[in-house]
Amino acid sequence: MGTKPEFVVCRTIICAALASASTLFLSLPLMVAAQRAPVVSPQSPGMSCVPILTVHDVARCIGSTRVTLPIPKIDGDHAYTLPELIDLAETANPEGRIAWAEAKEAMERAGVDRAQYLPLLTMVAETDDARVLSPFPKPLAPRGYVTVSQPTVVAQLELEYRLLDFGRAARLEGSKALELASALSLGRVHQTIAFDVASQFYATQRAIGELDAAKAILQTAETVEGSAQSQYENGRATLPDLENARAGTAAARYQLAAAEGEAHKASITLTMLIGVEPTSEMKVVSQRRDGTKEIETSIDDLIETALKSRPDLQARTQEFRYAQQEYRVAHSAYLPRVDMQAAGGQTAIWPAADFGQLGQATVPTWSFSVGLHWQVFNAARSHEINTAMAEEKAAAEQERATRDAVSAEVWDAYVDYHTALEQEKASQSFLVAATTSYDSSLDAFRYGVRSLVDVVEAERQLAQARLEAVRALAYRLQAETALVYSTGTLLRKSELP
């Protein structure tokens, strides 16, 4: 499969480009673009986030995002293409920024668990002074006691390290699983943002196309009214015929006003999805037919691709892996743990007594200890383990449910796409036939061989055909985008073939 229209490549946060429908699993249909843009470099954020397989991939992906950039402003004088709008949305959309923060949090939490394999080193410097009363034999101390003042200064390094912990590895593996799951969820959120913007972009194009069609319908109605006026003045048409034509013109003006309102509302909805200040002044490029060939990929191949590529399904797999590790952690809580503590430094004292003399000292001091901790009995043990087991089973069922839902979504998108494709073909045939019928009826009316009723009926069919052609194209593009989105391969390529 291949397409010939020109396209635009956009630099995005999670992925770098959209392509035409001919590359179904790597692209998004971009029939609206009019010229080629520069290809994204290999160091772009999109390339940094494909694929997410390791912890290093997560850090690279999260570090490449641009959530700290200010919210962009819409240029009312510029007609935006779909890639430009998606690029804006991935910078401004609040859902994308929230998903980034959650992924960042999971990455840092995994770093905390990873640090458990390293010792904890603390530098301690303290000073204190105390005066104490101590009993003492009277032959040596006439009062039977002495008071001692003892200023002390200690500077030392303290080392703490867990020599043995059976749950440490499980906690780290669980954190890494959540880290990967959060990054995958981040990728799916940006796919969803791109899908929502694309769907509304095509809906906005449809509204604009319907507005253009309404203008053409009004122009046609005015032409019919003019012909009816001329025929009436020449005595070849009746007054009811003229009034009928005038009614058609009034109805066309009504439809035009409604179409203008829908176009403004579609533009406002699109800006809201992008994440910028809502406005009806944003312009988008008009609809264009790109001659995209029919997608011939089988439904089995589409489902297989979805099961391998859907980030949300992969995130469910990682969440199940996390639940498995939590079960291991629950078991390890009742196994022995060995901790080691050591300290070394310099201690200085200057003791003084009210009777006798005491010596001063500044000497190196140290300490070392190893402790074994083991819960021999805990009445909550079985409940804690059973809770972890239940969470593991729930995660497994959630993964299975997500897998089934993915297959169902691909089936729905597949059926919708082929339905929209057939509707688009039918709408083109309808438009050609209605145009021919209208032109013939109008010419025949001018020569007096057809009635105005025939012309009005042909005009009505032509108006309906124009609207259906605009709608069918938008529905096909939306269905095509939904099919790519359902397979999880939206925003996966940095340049087009």
What is the structure's pLDDT at 290?
66
| 99/188 Cα distance (integer angstroms) | 9
| 145-149, strands of its sheet edge to edge | 131-135, 145-149, 352-353
Q: Is the pLDDT of residue 217 over 60?
A: yes
The 3-state DSSP class for residue 141 equals coil
Q: Which residue, among 329, 437, 327, has the nearest Cα to 390 in the 3D structure?
A: 327
| 227/345 Cα distance (integer angstroms) | 107
**Secondary structure of 188-199 in the HEC alphabet?**
HHHHHHHHHHHH
Lowest mean pLDDT among 8-17, 390-399, 428-437: 8-17
Q: What residue spans of 72-115 are helical by DSSP H?
A: 82-92, 94-114
Q: Which residue, among 202, 151, 190, has the nearest Cα to 362 in the 3D structure?
A: 151
- By the 10 Å C-beta count (0-12 exposed, 13-18 middle, 19+ buried), 125 is classed as exposed
Where are any strands of DSSP class E within 267-397? 283-284, 337-349, 352-353, 361-373
H/E stretch holding 58 reads helix 55-63
Contact predicate 238/176, CB 8 Å = no
Would you tell me how many other CB atoms lie within 10 Å of the CB of residue 343?
Answer: 17
**pLDDT, tens digit, 9 for 90 and up, residues 131-182:** 888 887 877 777 778 888 889 999 999 999 999 999 999 999 999 999 889 8
What is the structure's pLDDT at 72?
78
What is the structure's pLDDT at 240?
83
Q: Which residue, among 262, 263, 270, has the nearest Cα to 197 in the 3D structure?
A: 270
**Strand pairing of 337-349 and 361-373?**
antiparallel
What is the structure's pLDDT at 413?
93
25 to 184, 295, 306, 475: CA distances (angstroms): 18, 11, 9, 19
pLDDT band at 495 (very low <50, low <70, confident <90, very high): very low
For residues 261-278, average pLDDT: 90
What is the structure's pLDDT at 321?
93
What is the structure's pLDDT at 68?
64
pLDDT band at 66 (very low <50, low <70, confident <90, very high): low
For residues 330-349, average pLDDT: 92
**pLDDT, tens digit, 9 for 90 and up, residues 471-480:** 899 999 999 9
Q: Which of 34-43, 392-401, 483-492 has the highest mean pLDDT?
A: 392-401
Q: Is the pLDDT of residue 362 over 60?
A: yes
What is the structure's pLDDT at 393?
94
| 478/469 Cα distance (integer angstroms) | 14
**pLDDT, tens digit, 9 for 90 and up, residues 452-473:** 778 778 888 888 898 899 889 9
Lowest mean pLDDT among 75-89, 282-296, 357-371, 387-401: 282-296
- By the 10 Å C-beta count (0-12 exposed, 13-18 middle, 19+ buried), 159 is classed as middle
For residues 236-240, average pLDDT: 79
Q: What percent of the chain has pLDDT over 70?
A: 85
What is the structure's pLDDT at 8?
31
DSSP readout, 411-434? HHHHHHHHHHHHHHHHHHHHHHHH
- By the 10 Å C-beta count (0-12 exposed, 13-18 middle, 19+ buried), 119 is classed as exposed
CA 300 centroid distance within chain = 26
What is the structure's pLDDT at 265?
92
What is the structure's pLDDT at 55?
66
What is the structure's pLDDT at 375?
86
What is the structure's pLDDT at 38?
29
Contact predicate 463/217, CB 8 Å = yes
Lowest mean pLDDT among 17-21, 129-133, 301-305, 443-447: 17-21
DSSP 82: H
What is the structure's pLDDT at 254?
93
* 139 preceded by a cis bond (ω within 30 of 0): no
What is the structure's pLDDT at 30?
30
| 183/445 Cα distance (integer angstroms) | 67
pLDDT band at 97 (very low <50, low <70, confident <90, very high): confident
* Helix, strand and coil percent figures for the chain, each rounded to 5: 60, 15, 30
For residues 387-406, average pLDDT: 93
For residues 123-130, average pLDDT: 92
More confident residue, 26 or 204: 204
